[in-house]
Homo-oligomer: A and B are copies of this chain.
C-alpha cells in the first residue's frame, strides 16, 4: 500500500479499515454461530452474554464452537460476564471448564484459561478492604470519640467506616465523621496504616487513620449506629481502660508526629497514561507550617 493510498484515505483511513475488520469479524461470527467478544492485548476475549438471548442448548452449542475456534486462533484467557437474569448460563459454563473469577451484585465473571503449556497469568480480584477513621482534634487538644451501638465489648473508638468505591481516604474520613457525629472536617494528614489479615471472607483489611481538622463543633449523633459521642482530652483517651491497644498506639503516633514535625500529606500527580491526576501520599516536613 503506497503513500498515495494513505494520502487519499486521509485521517479516516485506519478507522475505515479497522471498522471493516470489525464488521467482517462480526459477520463471520454470526455466520459460524460463534460468540463475539472484546479482544484485549494479552490475547484474551471478554464475552458479555447479555448481547445474546439463547436457550440452554443453543448456548451450549455456540460455546463449544467458539471454544474450538478460540483454541485454534491461539486465544488465551476467555472471560464470560453473565448478568443475574441470565444465571442459567452459569452451570453450562461450569460444565465447560470455566471457574468463577469475581461477582458484583448484578453479574458474575467466569474465566477459562486456554493455553495448555503456559501458566495462567490472569489477574485475580482484590482481596483488601479499605477502612478509614478520622482523628479529629480540636483547638483544646480534645479528640472526637464514639461508642458503637452494636459491639462485642464496649470501647471508645474513632469515627470511621469502609471506603466507598472510588473514594479518597480524606473523603471517606470526612463522610464517616459527618454521618456518625455531625461534625464537618477536613483532611490534614495520614497518621497510621494498620494492615490486618484474616478479615471478613478471608480478606485483608487496611485501616487508615487520618488527622482531620474540625470545621464545626456541635455533635449530632447517628442514632442507628452510635450510642455515645463526645470530645475527650487526648491524655484521658490515651489512658482510658476502654480504649484498644491499637487506638492507644494511634494516639501515641499522632503525638510523636507533632514532635517529629513531619506528616503524611497528599499531592496530585499525573497518571502514567497522562489522562488524570492521582492522589499520592508521602512524608513532608511541617517545620515551616509550625513556624519553627
Q: Which residues from chain A sit less than 8 Å from chain B, CB to CB?
A: 41-42, 84-85, 87-88, 90-91, 93-95, 99-109, 123-130, 150, 152, 162-163, 165-166, 168-169, 190-198, 200-204, 206, 244-246, 249-250, 253, 256-257, 259-260, 262-264, 267, 269-274, 276, 278-285
User: Residue A102 contacts which of B163, B201, B282 (CB distance < 8 angstroms)?
Assistant: B201
- Known contacts A85-B94, A87-B91, A282 near B257 by CB under 8 Å: yes
User: Residue A126 contacts which of B128, B191, B284 (CB distance < 8 angstroms)?
Assistant: B128
Do B193 and A280 touch (CB < 8 A)? yes
User: Residue A103 contacts which of B102, B162, B283 (CB distance < 8 angstroms)?
Assistant: B102
User: Residue A100 contacts which of B105, B126, B272, B283 (CB distance < 8 angstroms)?
Assistant: B105
- A88 neighbours in B (Cβ, 8 Å): 91
User: Residue A253 contacts which of B106, B165, B283 (CB distance < 8 angstroms)?
Assistant: B283
Number of copies: 2
- Known contacts A191-B282, A206-B206, A282-B256, A128 near B125 by CB under 8 Å: no
Enumerate the 7 nearest inter-chain pairs by beta-carbon distance, A residue then B residue, closest first: A100-B103, A253-B282, A87-B94, A103-B103, A262-B262, A87-B91, A245-B270
Q: How far is the CA of A244 from the CA of B269 in the complex (A)?
A: 10
- A203 neighbours in B (Cβ, 8 Å): 125-126, 165
Q: How far is the CA of A191 from the CA of B284 in the complex (A)?
A: 11
Interface SS of chain A: mixed
What's the least CB distance linking A191 to chain B, in Å? 7
Chain B, Cβ-Cβ closest to A197: B166
Do B280 and A283 touch (CB < 8 A)? no
Q: How far is the CA of A254 from the CA of B199 in the complex (A)?
A: 32
Do B191 and A169 touch (CB < 8 A)? no
- A270 neighbours in B (Cβ, 8 Å): 245-246
Q: How far is the CA of A88 from the CA of B92 in the complex (A)?
A: 8
Chain B, Cβ-Cβ closest to A282: B253
Do A123 and B200 touch (CB < 8 A)? yes
